[in-house]
Amino acid sequence: MPRLISAFSGTVGFGVKVGLLSILNALAAWAAYVLIDRQHYIALAVLVLATIGIDAIYFAKRTLPLKFLVPGVLFLLAFQVVPIIYTINVAFTNYSTGHVLGKNDAITQIQLQSLEAPPDARTYNMAPARDKDGNLVLLLQDQMSQKTFVGNEDGLKPISGVKANAFGIVAASGYSVIKGAKLFAMDKQLRALHVPVGKSREIQPQTISTAAELEPTLRYNARADTFTRISDGRVFRDNNAGSFTHGAQELEPGWKAAIGFKNFNKILTDKQFRGPFFQIFLWTVVFAGSVVLLSFFTGLFLAIVLNKKGLRFQRTYRSLILIPWAVPGFLSVLVWQGLLNDDFGVVNRMLHLNIPWLFDANWAKVSCILVSFWLTVPYFFLVSMGALQSIPEELNEAAHVDGGSPWQIFRRVTLPLVLVATSPLLIASFAFNFNNFNNIYLLTQGGPTQPDQPIAGSTDILISYTYKLALATGKGNDYGLACAVSIVIFVIVATISAIAFSKTKALESIN
Amino acid sequence: MSAISAAVDRVRARERRAPTRKASWGRDWWRHAVGIIAAGFALFPVWFVTSAAFSREDSVSGTTFLPAHLTTKNFKQILTNTVPDQGTQSYVDSHFLRWILNTVGIAVVTALGTIILGALAAYAFSRFRFRGRRFGMMFLLLIQMFPQLLLIVSIYLIVLNVGDIFPVMSLNTYTALIVVYLGGSLGVNAWLLKGFFDTIPSELDESARVDGATPAQVFWGVVLPLAAPVLVVVGLISFISTLNEFVVASAIMQSQDHLTLAVGMNGFIDQKYGQRWGPFAAGVLLAAIPAAALFMSLQKWLVGGLTQGAVKG
């Protein structure tokens, strides 16, 4: 590799280093510019410190290990460590559909949404326009009286010289009416433009050519931090959980607020969640456990049967058995979904059965295990094959000579030796299947749905349940609860892994 | 002791008298029965998908053991994105070749990045003794237990919010998906690579250093070429897991032409087994055959690597 060496030697190597760092710094400068523009100063500080740190590391002499570690660690921090921290953070909030904004934004939204047209409200034809100084104003024509006005944030003024036809206002002296694409681009600005009239009413654009007089139905009291409903005087207070409430009534939207252990409490005590959660947890354990055990013993059995020296077609059997492992798993699962289809699936027709493989709660569970079993057997077949071949021939012979029956030899000699080699893999496979999202979600989507359960299906495992809680569309997304479930899953998987590591002695190789 | 060696001698003698020939069919019939049943079970879906791919039937209900009329129309339809959408007179919005291209592109870039990032970190852990080394390795081990799958909610929210500021990294971009994958790669691979680097004698590094090579030269010119086999394994594991990854890709990618194969095919067949089964089966064959061939050809290397850590499901 002399060429590679020369690429990193002396001046050339230095040039490469300076080049890469220049690109990095240029990117950082651009990012900093954007962040300043958007006024994200904390992110800016992090960015500047990180860039200076990286530059320092690569130009200093005594930071050799860091030079090798920094690239990987940066990605690890950004997309593994930060998400972990963020997950923990969100788990203690009510972040969900309807609780996305900050509190101040939520108050503004509530005020906006509380605007309603009173019975005697006037409606106007409207044309957005710019005055002589270029300020945005609304040209308005009362649809009843045909009187014309100009309105801005300061209020409403009658004017004359407005030309209107059947389609609305077309021109006004002293103003240039905004038209066409420019008008559509102003959608946001227009919606924010309110023209106050009278004591509490204001005129708001309804479409790009009409406006209406609206009146708030709620009044915000900034000092007391409450909303009062004007019609009946009811007071809505901050409930410390991200909403203004009065009894069971809640104002929409709420905001993102810290709510302590409420999400975890929900999982453990709330009837609506506790039931499905424990049921799902149990099924997750049953699923992962039975897939691993069935696959392991089947794989071991196949390996023992086919591991005979000189067996004809041995290699052929081996290759064919390995096929399910070689095909990308998600394709196989999707194919199985078609084959198991109860109306016209191949399995039912070939076997002359009429089993609702995917639409009955219990049969769907069987299908999940069956398909995962099909996918996992080859792995354990291969692993057992390796383990069997590493057992010295003499051991079996000695046991045979000592009068052991084949079953005794298997039970007392072969199995213990195979288990020594494979038990770490069994635990790892259990942990893997514990979170085997693909095999469940691509086969049944966690379904069939259960009566009186909006989200949890009969075959949902914890991870697919979390996914649905967080991202399933149509039912509202509860990010906070989903993060809390993620943390619970982590604790469970970490416990399993801790057992695995104490068995594999992986830690010994640290030194 | 003498009893055992006598027994072993007796067995050996018996073996000499009856030299092992190719085992006969008669005694091993049950082994063959087991082998045939196992192979049949493994091949069952493969057989029917192949049959469906070459069949004129569009519904899974028309799939038979052998197709009644051989045709390649399913392949044409899926490759040219002209799968008829029943009831609408138009074509299904699918981009099969694009999905494959997306997947391979994302998987290759991710695999290369994974190799480089992993090798750099593993080299530091293998060769240098520095403060925080032990902590760093333990940390990686711990991090590995919190897979990105569990972090999907916060990864989605982070990409959503970051993308709002930096459009290159927003939802529905390849960059976002790749950097997220790269973030999850280090925990899995650094240990595997470090184990291999430990087996390369450090005398090699030292002699190169004595000859005047810089640490960067030693790494790129001496150690990496020697580690090529394990780098291939790491790259392949990464490639396969990216290929199979569904959750992160489905959360980040949104428009049809940006999807990966896993997300695209799932959306394509979604409850439409009565209408799109034929073209779907053709797509499965087209995607699975090269993937399986690649996997089988590198299988020997993989087994060693997999038994040391990762599991493929």
User: pLDDT tens-digit profile of A389-447?
Assistant: 888 888 888 888 888 888 888 888 888 888 887 877 888 788 889 889 999 999 998 87
- Which residue matches tokens 């530059």? A55
Residue B153 placed within a domain: yes
Handedness of CA A93, A97, A101, A105 (dihedral sign): negative
The b-or-e profile of A367-402 (16+ CB within 10 A means b, else e) is bbbbbbbbbbbbbbbbbbbbbbeeeeeeebbbbbee
- A249-250 and A115-116 as β-strands: parallel, antiparallel, unpaired? unpaired
User: Which is nearest to B110 in space by CA: B294, B290, B243?
Assistant: B243
Element (H, E) at A162: strand A162-165
Tokens of B21: 């020939």
B214–A contact, CB cutoff 8 A: yes
Domain assignments of chain A as residue spans, ordered by start:
17-78, 119-216, 270-510
Q: In the prediction, which pLDDT does A509 show?
A: 47
Distance CA B185, CA B148 (A): 10
Distance CA B21, CA B23 (A): 6
B170 or A247, which is more confident: B170
Number of domains in chain B: 1
Question: How many residues comprise chain B?
Answer: 313
CA-nearest residue of chain A to B64?
A: A346
B207–A contact, CB cutoff 8 A: no
User: Which is nearest to A389 in space by CA: A416, A429, A427, A418?
Assistant: A418
Q: What mean pLDDT, rounded, does chain A reach?
A: 83
Long-range contacts, B127-131 (Cβ 8 Å, 24+): B127/B197, B127/B202, B127/B205, B128/A64, B128/A65, B128/A68, B130/A65
Residue B156 placed within a domain: yes
- A176-177 and A168-172 as β-strands: parallel, antiparallel, unpaired? unpaired
Cα of B117 to nearest chain A Cα, Å: 5
User: pLDDT tens-digit profile of B123-141?
Assistant: 999 988 888 888 888 888 7
User: pLDDT tens-digit profile of A447-490?
Assistant: 788 777 777 888 999 888 888 877 765 567 888 888 988 888 88
Residue B275 placed within a domain: no
Q: How many CB atoms are closer than 10 A to CB B267?
A: 16
A271 or B267, which is more confident: B267
B213–A contact, CB cutoff 8 A: yes
Stretch 428-487 of chain A: residues touching chain B, C-beta under 8 Å: 428-429, 432-433, 435-439, 441-442, 463, 466-467, 470-471, 479, 482-483, 486
Distance CA A372, CA A379 (A): 12
Stretch 61-80 of chain A: residues touching chain B, C-beta under 8 Å: 64-69, 71-73, 75-76, 78-80
Q: In this structure, are residues A331 and B265 in contact, taking their beta carbons and an 8 Å threshold?
A: yes
- Please list every residue in chain B whose beta carbon sits closer than 8 Å to the beta carbon of residue A343: 61, 274
Tokens of A403: 């009068």
Which phi and psi angles does A130 have, rounded to 5°? -115, 140
User: Which is nearest to B246 in space by CA: B132, B149, B130?
Assistant: B149
Class of domain A119-216: mainly beta
With CB atoms and an 8 Å threshold, state whether A319 touches B296: yes
Q: How many CB atoms are closer than 10 A to CB B141?
A: 17
Distance CA B299, CA B302 (A): 5
Q: Collapse the DSSP code of A115 into the 3-class scheme (helix H, G, I; strand E, B; otherwise coil) and give the result.
A: strand
A230 or B120, which is more confident: B120
Distance CA B81, CA B76 (A): 8
Q: Collapse the DSSP code of A385 into the 3-class scheme (helix H, G, I; strand E, B; otherwise coil) and give the result.
A: helix
Q: How many CB atoms are closer than 10 A to CB A309?
A: 9
User: pLDDT tens-digit profile of A302-353?
Assistant: 999 998 877 888 889 988 999 998 899 999 999 999 888 877 778 888 887 7
Stretch 149-208 of chain A: residues touching chain B, C-beta under 8 Å: none
Q: In the prediction, which pLDDT does B309 show?
A: 40
**Which residues constitute the domain of residue B103?**
96-270
Angle between helices B152-165 and A479-504 (to 10 degrees): 120
DSSP assignment letter at A148: E
Which phi and psi angles does B248 have, rounded to 5°? -65, -45
- Please list every residue in chain A whose beta carbon sits closer than 8 Å to the beta carbon of residue B116: 71
Peptide linkage before B19 cis (omega within 30 of 0): no
Q: In the prediction, which pLDDT does A511 show?
A: 40
With CB atoms and an 8 Å threshold, state whether A510 touches B63: no
B168–A contact, CB cutoff 8 A: no
Residue B305 placed within a domain: no
Handedness of CA A3, A8, A14, A19 (dihedral sign): positive
CATH of the domain at B254: 1.10.3720.10
Cα of A454 to nearest chain B Cα, Å: 20
Cα of B54 to nearest chain A Cα, Å: 15
Q: In the prediction, which pLDDT does B90 show?
A: 82
User: pLDDT tens-digit profile of B163-190?
Assistant: 888 888 889 999 999 999 998 888 768 8
With CB atoms and an 8 Å threshold, state whether B141 touches A470: no
Stretch 114-153 of chain A: residues touching chain B, C-beta under 8 Å: none
CB pairs under 8 A between A and B: 333
Identity of residue A66: L
Tokens of B152: 């999907």
Residue B240 placed within a domain: yes
- Please list every residue in chain A whose beta carbon sits closer than 8 Å to the beta carbon of residue B157: 86, 90, 95, 479
Q: Which fold has domain A270-510?
A: MetI-like fold (1.10.3720)
Radius of gyration of chain A (CA): 34
B173: left (phi over 0), alpha (psi -120 to 50) or beta: beta
Distance CA B290, CA B287 (A): 6
Tokens of A46: 């992090």
Which phi and psi angles does A387 have, rounded to 5°? -65, -40
User: Which is nearest to A177 in space by CA: A211, A215, A235, A136?
Assistant: A136
- Below-70 pLDDT ranges, chain B: 1-25, 145, 188, 302-313
Residue B201 placed within a domain: yes
Output the pTM of the full model.
Answer: 0.79
Stretch 326-365 of chain A: residues touching chain B, C-beta under 8 Å: 326-332, 334-339, 341, 343-346, 349
DSSP assignment letter at A251: P
